[in-house]
Amino acid sequence: MTFGRLKISPGFFAVLSVLCLMDGEGIFVRFVLCCAVHELGHAAAVWLMGGRIGKMELTALGGNMTVEYRRASYLAEFAVAAAGGAAGMLFSVICAAMGAYVTAGMSLAVTAFNFLPVCPLDGGRMLNIIFSAMFPERGERLTSVADKVFSAALFTFSLYLYIFTGAALGIALMAAFMLCRTIIKKPTENL
């Protein structure tokens, strides 16, 4: 479904529906707020770096932005990738200072998840930027390998947690999705 520069995937609606159905504690609105603060951190960094948001996509894993810079640099791209997590951490500190500990914890969880070194998450984007700067010829290939290794490790660990503790089913499902995505995609796709 497309609205101008915004594209919404069916996976986004599927995750949204599951979260709404599972929300017995009334935390869904807080989760959406944490995600919005995260994405606003990226948008603010794009603006500060002199860029422009070309198009936005909401997927099962969250939001993706296509950014257009007048003069792209590794530093600007890295700053934009890191800004969502920085905004999330700042929001977490503010929430904790106000006594909103559940929201603070959720914001930290969103930040930690987004810093996982798997594309298209922020950690994967930052890893790709580092690899591309250090090894221009092989950066994307190295990122592809790292995607597969980290996705497989996260899936294995979360599946272990689910089998032996009954926890982390959501993480196991998300990790399975990321692992399938890394196996199917080409090395240069969506980096």
Q: Read off the pLDDT of residues 140-176 as tens digits, 9 standing for 90 and up.
A: 889 888 888 988 888 888 888 888 887 767 777 777 8
Check: CB of residue 113 under 8 Å from CB of residue 121.
yes
- Give the three-state DSSP class for 131: helix
pLDDT band for position 191 (50/70/90)? very low
pTM here is: 0.77
Report helix, strand and coil shares of the chain as percent, to nearest 5: 65, 10, 20
**Spatial CA neighbour of 58 closest among 118, 104, 12:** 12
Note the pLDDT tens digit of each residue in 80-129: 999 999 999 999 999 999 999 999 999 999 999 899 888 878 999 999 99
